[in-house]
Structure 1
Amino acid sequence: MMAELTGYYMMVLSTVVFWSLPYNTYSLNLDDPNVCSHWESYSRMVTESYSHRFDQIYYTNCPDILKWFKCTTYREMYRTAYRRGEKIMYRIKSQCCPGFFEIGEMCAPHCEDSCVHGSCMAPNTCRCEPGWGGYNCSSACDSDHWGPHCSNRCQCKNGALCNPITGSCICTPGYRGWRCEAQCETGSYGNGCQWTCQCQNGAICHHVTGECNCSPGYTGTLCQDECPVGTFGAGCAKTCHCMNNSKCAHVNGTCDAGYTGEKCDIRLCPDDRYGLRCEKNCPCHAPRTLRYVVNDLTDFNKLYCARINTFKQSVF
Structure 2
Amino acid sequence: RTMGPGGCPLELLLCVLLWFISSAALNPDDPNVCSHWESYAVTVQESYAHPFDQVYYTRCTDILNWFKCTRHRISYKTAYRRGVRTMYRRRSQCCPGFFESGDLCVPLCTDECAHGRCVSPDTCQCEPGWGGLDCSSACESDFWGPHCTNRCQCRNGAKCNPITGACVCTEGYQGWRCEEHCDARHYGKDCLLECSCENGATCHHQTGECLCAPGYTGVFCEEPCPPGKHGPLCEQRCPCQNGGTCHHVSGLCTCPPGWMGPVCAQPCPFGLFGMNCSEECLCRNGGLCDHISGQCQCNAGYIGERYCPRPPPLHSGQSVHMSQGKSQH
TM-score w.r.t. the length of structure 2 is: 0.68
Structure 2 unaligned spans of 5+? 53-74, 284-288, 296-329
Give the whole-Å Cα distance in 2 for the aligned partners of 1:87 and 1:20: 13
Q: Which range is displaced more, 43-52 or 165-174?
A: 43-52
The answer to whether the aligner puts 1:29 opposite 2:22 as a matched pair is no
Which of structures 1 and 2 has the bigger CA Rg? 2
- Give the count of matched residue pairs: 269
Shift of 1:146: 1.0
Check 1:19–1:113 CA distance in 2 against 1; reply closer, same or farther (3 A cut).
closer
Tell me what 2:238 maps to.
Answer: 240
Q: Is the 8 A contact 1:15 1:47 kept in 2?
A: no
Structure 1 unaligned spans of 5+? 1-9, 55-76, 272-289, 298-302
Give the whole-Å Cα distance in 1 for the aligned partners of 2:124 and 2:10: 50
Paired residues for 1:1-316 under 5 Å: 13-15=6-8, 22-25=16-19, 26=22, 28-31=25-28, 32-48=30-46, 84-257=82-255, 259-268=259-268, 294=275, 308-309=281-282, 315-316=294-295
Q: Is the 8 A contact 1:260 1:266 kept in 2?
A: yes
Residue-by-residue CA offset, 1:271-313 (whole Å, 9 max, x unaligned): 9xxxxxxxxxxxxxxxxxx88863xx8xxxxx9x666549989
State the secondary structure of the residue aligned to 1:173: coil
Shift of 1:17: 8.3
Give the whole-Å Cα distance in 2 for the aligned partners of 1:101 and 1:12: 37
Give the whole-Å Cα distance in 2 for the aligned partners of 1:11 and 1:96: 33
Check 1:50–1:161 CA distance in 2 against 1; reply closer, same or farther (3 A cut).
same
State the secondary structure of the residue aligned to 2:8: helix
Q: Which range is displaced more, 38-47 or 176-185?
A: 38-47
CA RMSD across the alignment: 4.1
Residue-by-residue CA offset, 1:116-168 (whole Å, 9 max, x unaligned): 22222221111222211111111111110111211111111100111112211
TM-score w.r.t. the length of structure 1 is: 0.70
Give the whole-Å Cα distance in 1 for the aligned partners of 2:135 and 2:11: 54
Q: Which range is displaced more, 188-197 or 20-29?
A: 20-29
Q: Is the 8 A contact 1:131 1:147 kept in 2?
A: yes
User: Identity, % of aligned pairs?
Assistant: 52
State the secondary structure of the residue aligned to 1:107: strand
Q: Is the 8 A contact 1:12 1:49 kept in 2?
A: no
State the secondary structure of the residue aligned to 1:198: coil
Q: Is the 8 A contact 2:129 2:144 kept in 1?
A: yes
Give the whole-Å Cα distance in 2 for the aligned partners of 1:18 and 1:292: 139
**Equivalent AA in structure 2 for residue 265 of structure 1:** A
Residue-by-residue CA offset, 1:161-208 (whole Å, 9 max, x unaligned): 111122111100110011111111121111110111122222222111
Q: Which range is displaced more, 141-150 or 14-23?
A: 14-23
Q: Is the 8 A contact 2:158 2:167 kept in 1?
A: yes
Task: Judging by fraction of residues, say which structure has more helix.
Answer: 1
